[in-house]
Structure 1
Amino acid sequence: MSMMLDQTSDSIENQQLDVSENGAPQQLDAEMMIETKLTDINIDCQEHVFKHLGLLDLLNIADSSKQFKTAADLVFAKKFGNERVKVLCIRPCRNQYVESNESIEWIEFAKTGLQLFRNFGHLISVLNFEPANVLAKTPREESFSLLYKCAIEYINEYLAESLTEIWIRQCPEGFLKFLNPLLNISTVEIDSFGFEGLSNDWLKTLFPKLNRLTYIDFNQSLGMIDHHFPHLEHLSVRRGYSAIAWDNISPAVLDLNSQLRSLFNFDIGPGVNVLRSMERLQHLEELDLMWDMKYANARNEFDGEIFRFRTIKMFKIFTMDTSREYGTFPKIPFVFDQLEKCAIHAKASSFDELYKFLERNPTITDLKLQLNCLFVNLSKIAQASRSLRHFKFRSHAFITKENIVDFIDSLPVLNQAYFTVQLIPNDCLEQLKQYFSTHLENEWHVSVEEVNDFTKITLERLD
């Protein structure tokens, strides 16, 4: 490459000055100026120059020479977070990309993606591989298929050792059979792709160190995860934005992986056998459930049976209710021995079962409630949660400033509280701030602001 650090005559006149004995500026002789090529400067200076380049120019620089490739590696590693680079799309279409401080957010042009793999694949640890699910019926689609195969070959050759996380979305039928085992992958997310040509144990074969697995939006049998994964600690199974019902999940997934520490995005529909398998997990620490209210309102599946979890420290439940009516908050058939953090998102007209659930679990120190309701009793929440240190509350229910003060006063170990509510009466912000400061005896830092139609109140206990 014939790139040079050029200086115009104007810049020489303006910058390269000497001082004579009488203090007057004196122009240097042009012969004294030494022409410097980019290849003549050291790697630190090259890195400083290259850091101003965009991704496409940086890729071209890396292709130009081994010397520039070394400096380009340093720039790429620093610019995109050293070991964490996220490529969100590789598609044979427009040549566009978006850069952020921590990741490459979008790669659309296949040639650019392949060039990226070849030059900087050894620096990429997180990859989102998203080829569109194209069937090769036309010459153009056939060329797309060849590009996908080429991309997998590049992953095998250039990213096999660096990748620790991979997200696979909309992969054409049978393409993953060309992927070699990725020995350092610990996190896998799979979304909407074909399983044709893959054996039932393909996950174990391709990702022998699999630690975190997420399955999204597929119609295939879950038999592919009815295996023992020796390193698996996190499992999430969901269909699009809603979870897959328990009756579609085999208890063997849990029975064969007793080392699981977290379960996320499960739908607590009918499935007592799965709950019993979950109860037997001796290392489970985090549980995140989605509960379709059509099951809770139409069935008494869990009446008379309580499931006890001795190791769970974080529990989150999201109740889905698409009806226009406000139903009754369902009974949560769980008891936790060591629960510390709890988050509940629900729509209901009555929360008696919520208060009972909190009473059964007095160890909660961090509680987040997002309640779509007409009325909620803060006093009952406080009575049931004496150990609270952190509380976050958002609701459409109308409550008073007196309700909030009484809640704070009844919890002696509470350190932080956040309320996003509709207050009655709706005093001005300065009046509210003064009221809370006075009635809380200036022991709390108070912040009050309007957010859309809500009043957001932040309370933090002073040291």
Structure 2
Amino acid sequence: MEKMKFTDMNIDCIESCLEHLKIEDLLNAAASNKRLNHAAKSIYDRKYHCRRIPLHIVNGNPFALSTLRYLRCFGELITRIQLIFYGEINQYSWRYSEPWKERKFIRTQRTIDYINEYCGESLVDIEFIRIQDLPEHFKKPFPRVKRLKIDDCSFSGLTEKNWLNTIFPRMQELHISVTNVHCEEVSQITFELAENHFAFLEHLSIFLSQFETIPWIVDSLRRNFMAALELNPQLKHLCVSTSPGIPFFDANDFQSVNLQNLESLEVTVNDSFYFEFNGESMRFRNLKSLRFIEQTNISYPIPFVADNLETLHLYKFVRMSEYEYDFIEKHPTITFLRLSVIEHVDLERIAKALPLLKAIEFGYSVRLTIDNMIPHWTTFESLKQISFLMEHIEEEDLIPLLIDGWSIDTIVKYSTKYEIKLKR
């Protein structure tokens, strides 16, 4: 009697045998033959379908054939991918010798060729990190990609402005980040690719951090950014974050573009944000969430007003001033509030201003004590959740607050403080 081969079993039995393999062994099985490939794909789809797959192009190492095999075997099931170049991250990081530059280009090109061939119809989320002259590598579009993230990538001055629309025609989220860039590299930074109308774009995120500021470069990036806002009035979510000292945009810029479809806004501002501010607040009809991070040593008025604001995050490097309390009092529709400020907060004033407040969180630097919470505890009539931090706490210390249905949710010990969460 002829012995049964492993591949002679029905597909369910094969899947049961392969079920507990590590991803590397599952890849080996998938590369063996068509029958095992079918079983391995079924397992991969069930266990790893939503995982973001990091693909590394490493400086000085031979090209990883396992990366290509991974794409070849499971590419049609991969929905989220991250392509990263690991090179020298220093002031000479883009001063490559020509032979090395050519090898890097070939490795990057080969990987993207495989991504195009095997993942082109399945990918919905792509991240590119430190890829030089990114547009030169693409040969065909990704019709299903909704989210695109570009970190520290350089672009040739010859890149067509319509490149993003051509390669990612249904893009809904665009995240562009520039970090850890030195003066030799900064001239290759551009947001020019964002100067276009993207029919499906709803979320735009710009992040600038830790690069040496050259005025004409910053002005160029600002023009690119403002053009993107003007061409995409349909945006629903906008995030703009910069490090202190980068004069990227100011309060008056928000007055010059139509942002009335925004539902959420996150801005990190510094002193330059308020230069020549005309004092007129911008009103948002549809804004539901505002995250306002102020990296200044003095307080300024928050230059926004929202008709139906529900969520507010305030982050300040100084104490809360009359400006912040005034902003809160103008928005009684707020149901969630997070405050990360220095020292004390006027709980009584917040309770009176926000009758609909359901949840409140206090950040690391807010100084709260049980004694100063007790007098105002019952004035938060709609409150269901509260989170705060203290240096020393015992459960019995919270007993005065455990009335009217309040109970302890969690107490978590961090390095120097306890985070206390109460619920009702």
Structure 1 and Structure 2 fold alike (TM over 0.5): yes
Structure 1 gaps of 5+ residues are 1-30, 96-107, 322-326
Look up the equivalent residue of 1:431 and give its one-letter code: E
Task: Name the counterpart of 2:69.
Answer: 115
Matched, 1:295 2:275: no
- 8 Å contact kept, 1:136–1:145: no
Q: CA RMSD in A?
A: 2.9
Superposition deviation, residue 177 in structure 1: 4.2
Call closer, same or farther: CA 1:276–1:409 in 2, change over 3 Å. Answer: same
- 8 Å contact kept, 1:126–1:163: yes
- 8 Å contact kept, 1:93–1:109: no
Superimposed CA distance per residue, residues 97-155 of structure 1 (whole angstroms, 9 cap, x where no aligned partner)? xxxxxxxxxxx962111111111100001111113467773766644432222112111
- 8 Å contact kept, 1:290–1:320: yes
Task: Name the counterpart of 1:185.
Answer: 145
Call closer, same or farther: CA 1:289–1:175 in 2, change over 3 Å. Answer: closer
Q: Distance in 1 between matches of 2:52 and 2:266?
A: 26
Call closer, same or farther: CA 1:65–1:50 in 2, change over 3 Å. Answer: same
Q: Which of 7, 24, 39 is 1:71 aligned to?
A: 39
Structure 2 gaps of 5+ residues are 88-93, 179-185
Look up the equivalent residue of 1:385 and give its one-letter code: L
- 8 Å contact kept, 2:339–2:362: yes
Q: Which of 393, 409, 414 is 2:383 aligned to?
A: 414
Q: Distance in 1 between matches of 2:417 and 2:131?
A: 43
Matched, 1:444 2:412: no
Task: Name the counterpart of 1:391.
Answer: 360
Matched, 1:320 2:295: yes
Call closer, same or farther: CA 1:274–1:150 in 2, change over 3 Å. Answer: same
Superposition deviation, residue 386 in structure 1: 2.1
Superposition deviation, residue 403 in structure 1: 2.1
Q: Distance in 2 between matches of 1:449 and 1:61?
A: 44
- 8 Å contact kept, 2:55–2:81: no
Look up the equivalent residue of 1:366 and give its one-letter code: F
Q: Distance in 2 between matches of 1:367 and 1:436?
A: 20
Q: Which of 271, 294, 305 is 2:250 aligned to?
A: 271
SS in 2 for 1:399: coil
Task: Name the counterpart of 2:181.
Answer: none
Q: Which of 267, 284, 300 is 2:262 aligned to?
A: 284
Q: Distance in 1 between matches of 2:326 and 2:20?
A: 60
Matched, 1:88 2:66: no
- 8 Å contact kept, 2:340–2:365: no
Superposition deviation, residue 175 in structure 1: 5.7
SS in 2 for 1:251: helix
Task: Name the counterpart of 1:27.
Answer: none
Call closer, same or farther: CA 1:191–1:456 in 2, change over 3 Å. Answer: closer
Call closer, same or farther: CA 1:143–1:54 in 2, change over 3 Å. Answer: farther
Superimposed CA distance per residue, residues 146-200 of structure 1 (whole angstroms, 9 cap, x where no aligned partner)? 2222112111211110111111111123663433111111111111222125211
Q: Distance in 1 between matches of 2:327 and 2:231?
A: 30
Q: Percent identity?
A: 29
Call closer, same or farther: CA 1:208–1:444 in 2, change over 3 Å. Answer: same
The structure with higher relative contact order (CA 8 Å, sep 6+) is 2
Call closer, same or farther: CA 1:305–1:255 in 2, change over 3 Å. Answer: same
Call closer, same or farther: CA 1:434–1:209 in 2, change over 3 Å. Answer: same
Q: Distance in 2 between matches of 1:392 and 1:144?
A: 47
Matched, 1:204 2:165: yes
Superposition deviation, residue 88 in structure 1: 1.8
Call closer, same or farther: CA 1:112–1:125 in 2, change over 3 Å. Answer: same
Superposition deviation, residue 397 in structure 1: 4.1
Superposition deviation, residue 59 in structure 1: 1.9
Superposition deviation, residue 415 in structure 1: 1.0
Superposition deviation, residue 289 in structure 1: 0.6
Q: Distance in 2 between matches of 1:125 and 1:204?
A: 20
Q: Distance in 2 between matches of 1:145 and 1:254?
A: 33
- 8 Å contact kept, 1:270–1:301: no
Task: Name the counterpart of 1:194.
Answer: 154
SS in 2 for 1:131: strand
Call closer, same or farther: CA 1:413–1:116 in 2, change over 3 Å. Answer: same
TM-score of the aligned structures, taking structure 2 as reference length: 0.85
Call closer, same or farther: CA 1:458–1:208 in 2, change over 3 Å. Answer: same
Superposition deviation, residue 270 in structure 1: 4.7
Kindly name which structure, 1 or 2, has the bigger radius of gyration based on alpha carbons: 1
Look up the equivalent residue of 2:172 and give its one-letter code: N
Q: Distance in 2 between matches of 1:274 and 1:312?
A: 17
Superposition deviation, residue 251 in structure 1: 2.8
Matched, 1:261 2:261: no
SS in 1 for 2:365: strand
- 8 Å contact kept, 1:329–1:347: no
Q: Distance in 2 between matches of 1:357 and 1:143?
A: 56
